[in-house]
Amino acid sequence: MGIFDKIKEKLSHEFIDIIEWLDYTDDTIAHRFERYQNEIKNNAKLIVREGQTAVFINEGQLADVFGPGTYTLNTQNLPILTTLKGWKYGFDSPFKAEVYFVNTHLFTDEKWGTKNPITLSDDRFGLVEIRAFGTYAFRISDAGKFIKDIVGTDGNFTNFEINEHLKSLIATRFTDTVGEANLPIELYAANTTELSDTCKEVMQPEFDGVGISLERFFIENVSMPEELKKEIFEYSRLDKLDLDKLTKFKTAKAIEAAANSEGGTAGAGMGMGMGFAMAQQMGAAMAQPQQVTRTAQPQQPTGATPPPMPAAIQYYYAVNGAQQGPATFEQLQSLYASRTINRNSLVWKQGMTEWKPLSEIEELRSFLGGNTPPPLPPQ
């Protein structure tokens, strides 16, 4: 071997390139391999590590794509670039091409959220607003499509740049999905798993269109205004209650409270008595089926059935210019004995055209002087 052959062999070894990319960051998705004038020597070594894909671009056109491995770059393993360049077999000159390394590992714990409230229509609560947020994970599934459609000429494309695009896409598709779900408003927070799966299925074609695979999608929380939460909780409680029984109970409590605040000592006694009576009636109504079962007896002949009890007379009376009552005869007698009312207190009952002093009502005169009869009329 002559001296020129040795020099040629030495130079050929010195000029063989090694094309590789060592990623020391955790947020770079695509990196352009920089070299002087983008010239690559024939038979250069290309090293693609696990979790990477190398993409060759020739004058803006997608050429060859390499997965993990070590390659010798020549006309045999650069078929697309060879065609684009019009190389002949055995071509042995440097060539120009851009080389992008794409990170294909899984990018996890990416955040998403709705920037503005989503307005939904609920059958019971009308128009309501909700917000949502969560996480997702993705990886680059088609490096060539991703470089061509997303990266372009960016020499160092980071996770932050693609996240802004993906979060906008997610928020839009999430809004469409929850709007079409037409669930009762309280079920959105209770069905986040099902909604997450549905949203992932809806969004996947959009991600595939730019060479990205949506690996995971999670809705962590669906929130709504506090006043709407209170309404939902109240509605849920009422839905489980017997409204008739609840109304009777609240009525009894309201009567008791009103008597305590307006009627003084007598009013308090009457209010409590009426409240207890209402409560007893409610309890009797609730227990009625059991009582009927226990006390059912063979029917007696029609002639032996006693007539109904006469209805007790109800009196209304005035205390300090305020109407009180109704009260029974016995209750009114007790009020007179306790000096809550007197002979001049105005009293009214059904059938009277106007209020009259107690002393002018025949059956109530017994309060005044015991059982002494009035004087005989003159002869």
At 60, the pLDDT band (50, 70, 90 cuts) reads: confident
Q: DSSP E strands: which ranges in the chain?
A: 18-19, 28-33, 39-40, 44-48, 52-58, 61-66, 69-73, 95-96, 98-103, 107-113, 118-122, 126-140, 156-158, 212-223, 315-319, 322-327, 346-349, 356-357
Question: DSSP letters of 306-324?
Answer: PPPPPPPP-EEEEETTEEE
Q: Residue 367: what residue type? A: F
Whole-angstrom CA distances from 264 to 164, 219, 302, 365 are 70, 59, 48, 25
At 242, the pLDDT band (50, 70, 90 cuts) reads: low
Domain boundaries, the chain: 3-103, 107-230, 315-369
Query: Beta 107-113 vs 39-40: how paired, if at all?
Result: unpaired
Name the CATH superfamily for 107-230: Band 7 domain (3.30.479.30)
Which residue in this structure is represented by tokens 């029974």? 328
What's the CA gap between 30 and 49, in Å, rounded?
14
What's the CA gap between 63 and 59, in Å, rounded?
10
Dump pLDDT digits (tens) for 72-109: 888 778 888 888 877 766 566 678 888 999 999 999 88
Residue 282: pLDDT over 60 = no
Q: What is the mean pLDDT of residues 264-273?
A: 48
- 362 phi and psi, to 5 degrees? -55, -55
With pLDDT > 70 as the criterion, what percentage of the chain qualifies? 72
Question: With b meaning 16 or more CB within 10 Å and e meaning fewer, what string describes 305-332?
Answer: eeeeeeeeeebbbebeeeebbbbebebb
Residue 8: pLDDT over 60 = no
What's the CA gap between 130 and 181, in Å, rounded?
14
pLDDT, position 195: 85
For 79, the enclosing helix (H) or strand (E) is helix 79-85
pLDDT, position 368: 79
Nearest residue to 120 via CA among 225, 1, 23, 16: 225
Please say whether the beta carbons of 332 and 317 come within 8 A: yes
Query: Beta 18-19 vs 44-48: how paired, if at all?
Result: parallel
What's the CA gap between 121 and 106, in Å, rounded?
38
Residue 14: pLDDT over 50 = no
**37 Cβ partners below 8 Å, 6+ apart?**
96
Predicted TM-score of the model (pTM): 0.54
- 372 phi and psi, to 5 degrees? -70, 125
